[in-house]
Amino acid sequence: MKVITALIISILFGSCGSPFLKHVIKHKKGVTRQFSTTNSIFLPFVEEFKNAHTKTHGSKISVGHIPINFGSPSNDSFVAVCHIYYDGSKEILIRKDKWEQFADGDKRLTIFHELGHCYLDRSHKNDKIVYEGKEFNTSIMSATLMPSTDYKKYQSLYDKELFTKNHEPLKETLNSPL
């Protein structure tokens, strides 16, 4: 039971950490990124991100300039962090121990969320919607990430919201006003 509770807490305060902590790190002059290429373990999720963008916008993108690797996100409560360097370069660092505990849905959610910060320049969007007594994030960019079951159920709507910033399809699908 303790393991399940710890996993739920890890997911709720997961990818970005606590909603009270800033996790997009902007570095001062002289600090450079650690990696130039993405660890191959993340490539399937990067491809899914690119394909989801193409499906939404009809145009292909490249995110190879934002390497994703295992590393220290600079705060122990974070699973992943988007680092932005003085020279404009970016990278995403993910805690390996947390990543290894995630199911594939949580991994996809983490990569999409962090690329939302680093590639799409999205900030956190913490709006909620209540449907049948249950609260749902209206955006994948919420500081407290949703359970992977909710994400999987409405994945195409969350993907569309990520790339368009349009929350209406999820609201309409749940048939409930904010």
14-18, 36-40, 135-139: which has the highest mean pLDDT?
Answer: 36-40
Are 68 and 38 spatial neighbours (Cβ–Cβ below 8 Å)?
yes
pTM: 0.83
**What are the counts of helices (DSSP H) followed by strands (DSSP E) for the chain?**
7, 6
Measured between alpha carbons, how far is 87 from 136 in angstroms, rounded to an integer?
37
Sequence-separated (6 or more) residues with CB below 8 Å from residue 41:
none
Hey, which bits of 105-175 come out as E strands?
Answer: 128-131, 134-137
The predicted structure's pLDDT at residue 175: 66
Higher-pLDDT residue of 93 and 1 is 93
- pLDDT for 161 equals 93
- Name residue 80's amino acid: A
Across the chain, mean pLDDT equals 83
Structure tokens given for 115: 């690329």
Q: pLDDT tens for residues 79-89?
A: 899 999 999 99
Q: What is the pLDDT of residues 101-124, one digit of tens each?
A: 998 889 999 999 999 999 999 999
Is the pLDDT reported for residue 15 higher than 50?
no
Range scoring the smallest mean pLDDT among 13-17, 36-40, 96-100 = 13-17
Mean pLDDT, to the nearest integer, of 125-146? 87
Rounded to 5 degrees, φ, ψ at 172 are -65, -40
Q: Would you say residue 45 has pLDDT above 70?
A: yes
Q: Could you tell me the two tokens for 136?
A: 């749902």
User: Over 80: is that where the pLDDT of 46 sits?
Assistant: yes
Coil/strand/helix, residue 10: helix
Q: Does residue 32 have a pLDDT over 60?
A: yes
Q: Confidence class of residue 2 from pLDDT cuts 50, 70 and 90?
A: very low
